[in-house]
């Protein structure tokens, strides 16, 4: 039965029920680990699920960072170094990835705490996740404050990509499903994917072709 839920009901719901509901309503999302390093040289790793493609030329990727009080370390490190990595999560890594959301003290590296391996490139002042099949480094472009709820849209441009060549299709598409990269829904659910199809550029009055 199709239920009609009005704004006034939403705002009266118990906090965690509402968070589960609203977080899953907007659909499947990218889940990835953001790697940074602090002034003392301690690596930080945190799972983020609100990553958004902003543009391909220049390459701009954004993510939503929660209010500073709730999630300070990643944003502090990015503000300081202007550099961070985004690392994909394959199905076998979901438990470790989820565990990075625990509030560890800032003298503890989540890499050690959850059992993942930092990997460095000489030119990038942020750790990659060795075990992630696809990963990329970004240089900070802008932090846009979203005043309505004290969150931030953090925008970066891609400086380095590490990707297995066999995942790159002839037209540049990256077949992330072949590396078992997951998608996420709501606050805490992880999903595998299976391809349904790719379609050609759509034009009025012209049937789509599959790619």
Q: Which of residues 88-127 bind a copy of itself (CB under 8 A)?
A: 88, 91, 94-95, 98-104, 108, 113, 121
Give whichever of 79 and 161 is closer to a copy of itself, judged by the CB atom. 161
Q: Which of 79, 117, 178, 208 is close enough to bind a copy of itself by CB under 8 A?
A: 208
Largest CA distance in the chain: 60
Q: How far is the CB of 105 from a copy of itself (least distance, A)?
A: 8
Q: Give residues 146-205 in contact with a copy of itself (rule: CB under 8 A).
A: 146, 148-149, 151, 153, 155, 157-166, 168-169, 171-174, 176-177, 181-183, 185-186, 188-204
Give whichever of 37 and 176 is closer to a copy of itself, judged by the CB atom. 176
**Bridge partner residues of 84 (DSSP):** 138
Give whichever of 37 and 89 is closer to a copy of itself, judged by the CB atom. 89
Please choose, from the candidates 80, 61, 79, 92, the residue with its C-alpha nearest in 3D space to the C-alpha of residue 161. 61
Q: How far is the CB of 123 from a copy of itself (least distance, A)?
A: 9
Tell me how far apart the alpha carbons of residues 120 and 128 are, in angstroms, rounded to a whole number: 6
Cis peptide before 49 (omega within 30 of 0): no
Give 108-111's long-range contacts (Cβ < 8 A, gap of 24+): 108/42, 109/42, 109/43, 109/44, 109/45, 110/43, 110/44, 110/45, 110/46, 111/43, 111/45
- Provide the mask over 65-84, with x wherever binding to a copy of itself is found by CB under 8 A and - wherever it is not: --------------------
CA 96 to centroid of chain Cα atoms: 15
Q: Which of 1, 40, 107, 122 is close enough to bind a copy of itself by CB under 8 A?
A: 1
If one asks whether residue 44 binds a copy of itself (CB under 8 A), the answer comes out as no
Residue 26 tokens read as 């907007």
Q: How far is the CB of 39 from a copy of itself (least distance, A)?
A: 22
Give whichever of 117 and 211 is closer to a copy of itself, judged by the CB atom. 211
Residue 6 tokens read as 């009005």
């Amino acid at each position: 039965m199709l239920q009609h839920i009005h704004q006034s009901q939403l705002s009266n719901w118990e906090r965690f029920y509402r968070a589960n509901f609203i977080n899953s309503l907007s659909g499947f999302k990218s889940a990835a680990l953001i790697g940074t390093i602090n002034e003392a040289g301690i690596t930080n790793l945190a799972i983020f699920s609100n990553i958004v493609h902003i543009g391909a030329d220049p390459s701009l990727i954004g993510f939503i960072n929660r209010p500073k009080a709730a999630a300070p370390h990643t944003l502090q490190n990015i503000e300081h170094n202007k550099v961070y990595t985004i690392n994909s999560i394959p199905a076998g890594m979901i438990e470790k990835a989820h565990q990075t959301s625990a509030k560890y003290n800032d003298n503890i590296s989540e890499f050690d705490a959850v059992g993942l391996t930092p990997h460095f490139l000489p030119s990038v002042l942020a750790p990659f996740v060795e075990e992630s099949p696809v990963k990329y480094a970004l240089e900070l472009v802008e932090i846009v404050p979203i005043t309505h709820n004290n969150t931030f849209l953090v925008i970066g441009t891609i400086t380095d990509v590490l990707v297995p060549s066999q995942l790159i299709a002839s037209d540049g598409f990256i077949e992330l499903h072949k590396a078992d990269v997951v998608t996420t829904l709501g606050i805490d659910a992880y999903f595998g994917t299976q391809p349904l199809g790719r379609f050609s550029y759509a034009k009025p009055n012209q049937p789509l072709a599959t790619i």
